[in-house]
Amino acid sequence: MISDHKGAENSITNTVGLLSGICLIVGTMIGSGIFISPKAVLLYSGAVGPCLLIWAACGVLATLGALCYAELGTMITKSGGEYSYLMEAFGSLVAYLYSWTTVMVLKPSSFAIITLSFAEYASTPFYPGCTPPPIVTKCLSAAAILLIVAVNCLSVKLASYVQNFFTAAKLFIILVIVGAGMVLLAQGKTETLSNAFDGTSTSLGAVGLLQFILPFYRMNMPLAILIGIPLVSVCYVLVNVAYFTVMTTTELLLSPAVAVTFGDRVLYPLSWIVPLFVVFSTFGSANGSCFTAGRLAYVSGREGHMVKILSYISLRRYTPLPALVFNGILSVFYIIPADINTLINYFSFAQWVFYGLTALALIVMRFTRKDLHRPVKVPIIIAVLMVVVSCYLVLAPIIDKPELEYLYCTVFIFSGLLFYYPFVHRKVNWARKIMRPITMHLQLLLEVVPPEKME
Contact partners, residue 201, CB within 8 Å, separation at least 6: 44, 45, 46, 47, 50
Q: What are the tens digits of pLDDT across the range 318-355?
A: 899 999 999 999 999 988 875 666 666 666 778 888 99
DSSP letters of 185-215? HHTT--TTTTTTTTT----HHHHHGGGGG--
* Domains identified in the chain and CATH numbers: 18-196+213-449 (1.20.1740.10)
For residue 318, the tally of other CB atoms under 10 A from its CB is 19
Task: Please work out, in degrees rounded to the nearest 5, the angle formed at the alpha carbon of residue 351 by the alpha carbons of 296 and 71.
Answer: 65
Asked whether 319 and 313 are in contact (CB, 8 A), the reply is: yes
Asked whether 212 and 348 are in contact (CB, 8 A), the reply is: yes
Q: Please list the rounded mean pLDDT of every run of 10 residues in the chain (455 residues).
A: 44 57 71 71 79 83 85 85 92 94 90 87 81 89 96 90 86 89 86 70 52 45 72 86 88 81 86 86 89 88 90 89 94 80 69 91 94 90 93 83 83 91 87 89 91 56
CA distance 390 to 158: 36
Largest CA distance in the chain: 74
Predicted pLDDT at 1: 38
Contact partners, residue 70, CB within 8 Å, separation at least 6: 222, 225, 226, 376, 378
Predicted pLDDT at 325: 95
Predicted pLDDT at 59: 82
CA distance 240 to 263: 14
Predicted pLDDT at 209: 45
Asked whether 454 and 302 are in contact (CB, 8 A), the reply is: yes
Helix (H) or strand (E) holding 449: strand 448-449
Predicted pLDDT at 142: 95
The letter for the amino acid at 54 is I
Phi and psi torsions of 449, nearest 5°: -135, 155
DSSP letters of 322-351? HHHHHHHHHHHHHHSSS-HHHHHHHHHHHH
Nearest to 286 by CA among 107, 153, 138: 107
Q: What are the tens digits of pLDDT across the range 170-218?
A: 888 888 999 998 998 888 887 777 766 666 655 544 555 455 455 433 5
Predicted pLDDT at 139: 94
Nearest to 325 by CA among 146, 191, 92, 183: 146
